[in-house]
Amino acid sequence: MTRAEDMSHHAPALEPDATLRAAFFEHVCQTSREPLALVVSRARGTTIWDDTGRAYLDLLAGMGVANIGHAHPAVLEAIRAQCQDYLHVSVYGEMIQRPQVHLAARLARSAPGDLDVVYFTNSGAEAVEGALKAARKFTGRSQLVAFDGAFHGDTFGALSVGGNPLYRAPFEPLLPGVSRLPFNDGAALAAIDRDVAAVIVEPVQGEGGVRIPDDEFLPALRRRCSAVGALLIADEVITGFGRTGRLFACEHWGVVPDIMVVAKAVGGGLPLGAFLGRRDVMGTLSHTPPLAHVTTFGGHPLSCAAGVAALDVLLRDRLPERAAEVGARWLEHLSTLVGQGGLRAVRGLGLLLGLEFESPVCTRRFATRCFAGGLVLNWTLHRDTVVRLAPPLTIGADEIAHANAVITRALRAGGATGEERP
């Protein structure tokens, strides 16, 4: 039996849980008017099963988290083992916790250049906050530069460097001293001057619609930052851990940032984020005053133990290389579908693929049909004409064939808009 067939025969059909569904809408704060509302009963590898036993192929990898697949056995075993020893014991940085130290050392070894010192957080946005604070304190400068179309998270600081005015407006005033430049525009980089503490950039913009810069852009940005003494912060929250076909996306362009932000896949499915930097930059957090940037749960031992196991699997199974090969082949196939169902263009790097539609109506129709066909996917947060595919890097050839069949049907079926989700 292929993995694709196995997915649809995992569990006997059950009654959908109407009470749970109703309570979800009543008590769990809704972040949109149209959540997927899939009732999750189990997730393993590339597959999520709902409460009726129906299998869905997860083409979002839990939104960029499950790079090695959901609930990998090595991660589960690491969590189990760590539970036997201790859970939370103390605030960040006070005690020597083996999983934290092990993961920090592995990250330092795996990261490009001399990003040797790691600060663990609970999430991506929190890591962005820490990176921005460290940059301001280290440089003694206040200005921050970000890019149009960027997404760095939804806390106040992270939102302040976000690149979509629609999402900033309801929460203003935000951080002062932030300016924004067009993404992928080398000429605009001249605006980065000696007042700038840091420039924050996603090597490939994810939520902004899977935007891949030209080859010159990031190296030029690196040069400009070095020339004016501004720190370069690379946000690898989505692009990290093999997603784009290299362990970190900066490596495609040989760029070493001063600080790198990671989250999502770093915890192997448990909540974890981190910012890594050069020793001199990160050293600024230890003094004047000490304890000025602390966290209770950042670098939780369970999350770090899971992270060590996940990174070991990722490297052992050469999943970044796999993502590069599989992604390139998939992109080639998807490009043959351009022109159908409003699909205007496809692009991607590794297993971060973007399908650009000619209108939000076409995007929505396509996503709805795919979901009805058993694929978990969605349009990107800040670009409602782009559907992103970012499956676990372990996705099998038969699963991609299955996804392609559903995608082709969704593009070819004309007529009704199919607005409602099943």
Which residues of the shown chain bind ligand PLP in the complex (CB under 6 A)? 123-125, 128, 151-153, 202, 206-207, 235, 237-238, 263, 273
CB closer to ligand PLP out of 50 and 236 = 236
| 242: region left, alpha or beta (phi > 0 left; psi from -120 to 50 alpha) | left
DSSP designation for 1: -
CB closer to ligand PLP out of 124 and 373 = 124
Q: Shortest distance, CB of residue 207 to ligand PLP, whole angstroms?
A: 5
CB closer to ligand PLP out of 110 and 155 = 155
Nearest to 376 by CA among 47, 64, 70, 10: 47
**Which whole-number Å values give the CA distances from 158 to 127, 293, 351, in the listed order?**
9, 16, 25
Sheet holding 352-357, edge to edge: 343-349, 352-357, 383-389, 378-380
Provide the residue count of the chain.
Answer: 422
Q: Shortest distance, CB of residue 283 to ligand PLP, whole angstroms?
A: 24
Give the position of tokens 């080398």: 186
DSSP designation for 54: -
Nearest to 323 by CA among 28, 69, 102, 126: 69
CB closer to ligand PLP out of 168 and 344 = 168
Q: Residue with CB nearest ligand PLP?
A: 124
- Which tokens belong to 95? 């005690």
Q: Are strands 47-50 and 273-277 parallel, antiparallel or unpaired?
A: unpaired
CB closer to ligand PLP out of 128 and 323 = 128
* Cβ within 8 Å of residue 99, ≥6 positions away: 82, 301, 302, 304, 305, 307, 308
Q: Shortest distance, CB of residue 238 to ligand PLP, whole angstroms?
A: 4
Q: Shortest distance, CB of residue 206 to ligand PLP, whole angstroms?
A: 5
Q: Shortest distance, CB of residue 255 to ligand PLP, whole angstroms?
A: 16
Q: Shortest distance, CB of residue 158 to ligand PLP, whole angstroms?
A: 6
CB closer to ligand PLP out of 196 and 352 = 352
Q: Measure the CA–CA gap between 407 and 354, rounded to whole angstroms.
A: 13
CB closer to ligand PLP out of 220 and 249 = 249
Q: Shortest distance, CB of residue 195 to ligand PLP, whole angstroms?
A: 25
CB closer to ligand PLP out of 32 and 84 = 32
Q: Shortest distance, CB of residue 231 to ligand PLP, whole angstroms?
A: 17
* Cβ within 8 Å of residue 263, ≥6 positions away: 121, 123, 124, 127, 237, 272, 273, 274
